[in-house]
Structure formats: structure tokens, C-alpha cells
A and B are shown apart, each in its own frame.
Chain A
């Protein structure tokens, strides 16, 4: 029995991609976090930071060949990584569900929406026929799809982007999962629709008491939705804190850089933008120091030598030799 009784407890998760004739890629490198019921957790990072892979590993959706997964993922008294595939199939969709990024490609184009919803109900709750259809219509209604009964018979290409994402959310929440993972749920949508979908997620999670793991690169979304935030860089968590703390006082230079790079409405006109210098490809392997070092203005000698350890304190976890100070300006 896990001591603290967290709903989802990820410990030292690692994912390595192996390819014949090429070097191994450590997409996820010793990531740990916990999520509790009713909590919304944000996992922030750029493309390539490993945030999506983390969620796929938790769900057991990574390919079997060419992938090595290590660590532990505790849920409901089990380590998901050691479960047989059939058990994992039972858990997926029912206890832990996921919503993906691109609603058009995430839906089967030749099957009506109704069936794509009822198949989850049929699978996990043995619902069939009319009962399943009614439940599906209710779900669609719950996520804000107008005229749900007609929609059940329609195909994905007949729906708008926002509606498709709502349908996907309906499918994910059909069996009232205790954990919902949303991987960039709004990235592929229009900005106006984004806000609606996020509101919807907030509402649904609040009502059901589920835990939400929100994966995104957009800090704005995190600010509006999440309780706690983990910032990932190149496969490791570099900073974790509660939302307010993180935004008010970022300590890791990367977090500071992310926050500082967002243009502000109240900045004087003509003020320079502050991107993080370099690109995600300017990497240093963690084994040789800090992966962010090539781009970091706060770089000191230890950064180029040894992996910084994740240090926990009451209000945050931080992996840095030379963090930003409380009074320091966001780096220019």
C-alpha cells in the first residue's frame, strides 16, 4: 500500500527508445509526480521535452518493440507497468482515460460518432442497444454538443473541430474515470474554441471529482486551470510548484524564460521580445551536467559537469545549481 495514498503515483519513470544502428534516446528520464483526486496537474514543456511520452507510458500505449520503460506507476494499489496487457486494457478507458491533441485524426472517419461513444460504454459497462445510445446522447449533451441525437448518426467530418474535441472528451469521460489525461487538448483548435473546451474540462473535472493531468506547452492554459505544475525539460522535471508560486516566483531559468518570452499587453510599445536563446536542439545530455545549460544565462561551472539533483523544499521542487533569485528580473 503506497504510504501517502495518492491516486496516481509515478516514481522514477523512464522511457528509452532504441533503434537499430542508432543511439538510444532517453525521452523520459527519471520523472516522478503524484496526482490526487480532484486535483488538476499541469505538465509543461516544449515539444521533445517528454511530456507526451510520459502520459503514453502511464497509459501503457507505447509500442512494445524498440521501447524500454522503467520505474513504477502506482494506481489503485497496482504498478501499471507490471500489469498484464489484458488488465491494462480494462483500466484504460474506465479508470484512466485520455484525450488527444488532434480531434480530426483522432476519430475514425468511417464510423459514426455514436458508435465511437457507445463502444466505450459497451466495452466497460456492458451497455448495449438503446440504453447505450441514450447514455451516449446524454454524454454528448453534457459536453455541450447541440442536438446530440442527430449527432450520434453523423460522421466525424460532418462535425466542427470544437465539436469533435467535445465528442472525444465525452468518450473519455463515458465511464467516469478517476484520472483524465489531456494531451494538448486545445492546440489544434481555434482560439475562441480553446477557451470553451478548457472551461468544459474544468467543469467536468470539478463535477466528477476526477484528477486531471493537463499536458501542454501553453502557460496561459496552465495559469487558468491547474493547481500544481511540473515543468519538464529534455525528459526531466526541472521545476515543480503550485500554480501561484510558479508564476509569481519562477526559480528555474527555463521557467523564467518561458514566462518572460510571453509578450505582455502592458509592455511598452517597441519593447524587445525575450525568447529563450538557442533552440531545443541545443542539448547537453543530462549525464554531463544540465541539459538546459547551453541556453541558460545563469550558467555556472557545475552546470557543465554533473547532473543537478531535484531538490525539494516546502513550496517547490527545483533542479538547478544557480536558480533565479526571488528579486531577480526575468532574464532579458
Chain B
């Protein structure tokens, strides 16, 4: 098991390296050159000279890259050309908001998606099943910002049940030691603050989580349908086990494997969807800030934020990979085999997840999609 984790961590290295190269090249390719890009409107000759000095822009590319790496590791991405505050500071300010939103959206998507997918599969052909399938098909066709608009219009503008945006009521005066408003409310014992934060979370979280929900329902349903027809479920039935035991130990434990893959992929959807959703709901998080940075051509922010987001995304997928190894013992073994001995056969439902998957790590992670039978 440990060797499995170590291997996965090792694969992380080249990806992060490649990522840094990509962003390095990106910054250098920006119109006007990196100096003016980083400074924006305040590109006076002295400022430009200082930037060139700082980033070694007149030195050979490998020196520049090295400096870039060193800076990145120290989380020094320069200053925002708009606010003139260090990018890192802005990150610290905005990441908690987005993480709170994203986590809520993910809990929403998983909490409803998996049970719904399961029951749709068990009640194959009934209204619940058909509704779930239709719903999930429509769900992936709706752009997240349109859904955000609809929710906002119906529940906030028309019905007035929920706030139209922001994280907390402007009239509320609450303390935020950690930046996670719900959590903060809990530790300060401020019930009003907790409720206020939750109420503000509802609409954006639903909007953001809707598409991952649609995908999770799809995959969970397909996966359960596959597993329920497997021979080992028949064996479990032949043993006379209680239905809940069969469901828990035999059906779900196998059916959730492709779902884990999809959850990793959902993290990506949540991160990119946040840019759009936060804009609609004026949620002061990473997405909102990035959206602003686009308009302001604030490239220092864009570079730093994209790097951090990608890093986060890769970590999440690493966690999913490891969890896969925890659930499926075959994965631990197969990952140790040399490449040539691993036949890439895919299970149907997992294949569907794979086909729409945008998860990094094709090497050992590809084994997540292995067939269950005579591997």
C-alpha cells in the first residue's frame, strides 16, 4: 500500500514540473512581454526595469525558469497589477471562500447523486429511473452561469426566499477568524452568523454542484446496474444474506469505484465552474477574483492563481487515486506491475467515466478503469 502511494506521489513530480513550464512559457508569450503584462498600466520605465531585475528577464531562459521556480515554491507571484497587493495575499483572502463554496457544492452533489443513482438503478425502468436519466442529461447541457441566473431569478428575485448574492448580510457584523464563514460561526458560537452564512451558500452551491450532480447520478446509476448483474452478487443472494448487507458490502463497494473517478473529475468542474458562478452571485472567492483579473488583464494574478488551482486539482486527484487503492485491493497489486503487463481493459460504466474524464495521470491512474473480472 505504501509503495502504491509512493508511486503516485512520484508521478506528481513530472506533472507539476510540466505545469510550471507551461505557465512559465505562457507568461513570456503574453502580448507586450512579461514585464508590461505583470505591471499593467503602471508600466513606467523604472517599474519595468525593476521587474526585469526581479525576474531576471534579461538573463538566459534557464536562469529565468529557475528564478520562476524558486519564486513559485515560495509562493511569490508578484503583485496584482490592479490592487498592488501581493498575489499571495489575495489568494489567502479568496481561497477560503471558494473552498467553502466548492465543498458545499461537492457535498450536495455526492449526497444526492449517489443515493439517487443507486435508487434509479435498483428501480430500473420506473419513473424515478427515467427522471434521473433525463435530469442528468439535461444537467450537463445547461451552462452553469445560466443555471445560476435561473436560480437567482426564481428564488432570490421573484420569491425572495434567499439572498441574491454575497457571503453574508451586509448588516451582519460577525467575526471570521478562519475565513470559512460557517465554521467561524460555529467556533464563535454565533448562531445568527451560521444561519446567515448557510443561507448565502445555498443558491451558489446548488448552481455549482448541479453539473457534478448530473454526472455522478449518471455514473452511479450505470455502475450499480453493472454490478447488480455480476456473479458475485448472485453468490451473495445465494447465501441468503440480508438485502442491506448485499447492498453495502457487495454492490456499493464495487459500484463506487467509477464514482470515485468521477468525483476527482468533478473537482475540476467545481474549480472552473466557480469562476462563472461566483460572478453571478458576487461570491468573493477565487473565481470572482480571476474573472475580474481577466477583465483587468491582471496577468500576475492569473498566473499565480492558475498555478495554485491546478496544484489543488492535481492533489485532489491524487487523493482520489489513493482512495481507489484503499477500496480496491487489485489496484495496489496491478500498479506495481510493469507497464507492459497491464492490459487496458475497461469496465463499461468506468469507461463512460473515462470517456468524459479530464483527470491527469494516465499511467497508473489508468488502472482505475480496469475490468473487475479475470484481470
Contact = CB atoms under 8 A, between A and B. Distances in A.
B231 A106 contact: yes
Interface string B195-222: 0000000000000000000000000000
Nearest to A91: B240
Contacts of A89: 240-242
Contacts of A75: none
A105 B240 CA distance: 18
B352 interface: no
A109 B372 contact: yes
Given A61-B234, A100-B234, A109 B239 contact: no
Contact of B234 (A106, A109, A171): A106
Contacts of B372: 109
A91 to B, nearest CB: 7
B374 A93 contact: no
Interface of B: 230-232, 234-242, 245, 249-250, 253-254, 327-330, 333, 372-375
Interface string A72-115: 00000000000000001111111001101010111111110001
A318 interface: no
Contacts of B249: 108, 111, 115, 119
B330 A100 contact: no
- Say whether chain B's binding surface is mostly helix, strand, loop, or mixed: helix
A90 B242 CA distance: 9
B236 A108 contact: yes
Contact of A168 (B235, B242, B329): B235
Contacts of B235: 100, 106-108, 168, 171
Interface string A100-137: 10101111111100010001100110000000000000
A168 B232 CA distance: 11
B232 A106 contact: yes
Contacts of A98: 238
A88 B239 CA distance: 11
Contacts of B230: 105
A119 B235 CA distance: 12
A43 interface: no
A119 B253 CA distance: 15
Given A108-B249, A109-B254, A119-B245, A94 B240 contact: yes
A123 B242 contact: yes
A152 B139 CA distance: 45
A108 B329 CA distance: 11
B238 A110 contact: no
Given A105-B230, A111-B249, A171 B330 contact: no
Contacts of A92: 237-240
Given A61-B234, A107-B235, A111-B250, A93 B241 contact: yes
A155 interface: yes
A105 B330 contact: no
A106 B239 CA distance: 12
A59 interface: yes
A100 B373 CA distance: 15
19 contacts: A89-B240, A89-B242, A92-B239, A100-B238, A105-B231, A105-B373, A106-B235, A109-B232, A109-B328, A110-B327, A111-B250, A115-B249, A119-B249, A120-B241, A123-B240, A124-B240, A157-B329, A157-B330, A171-B239
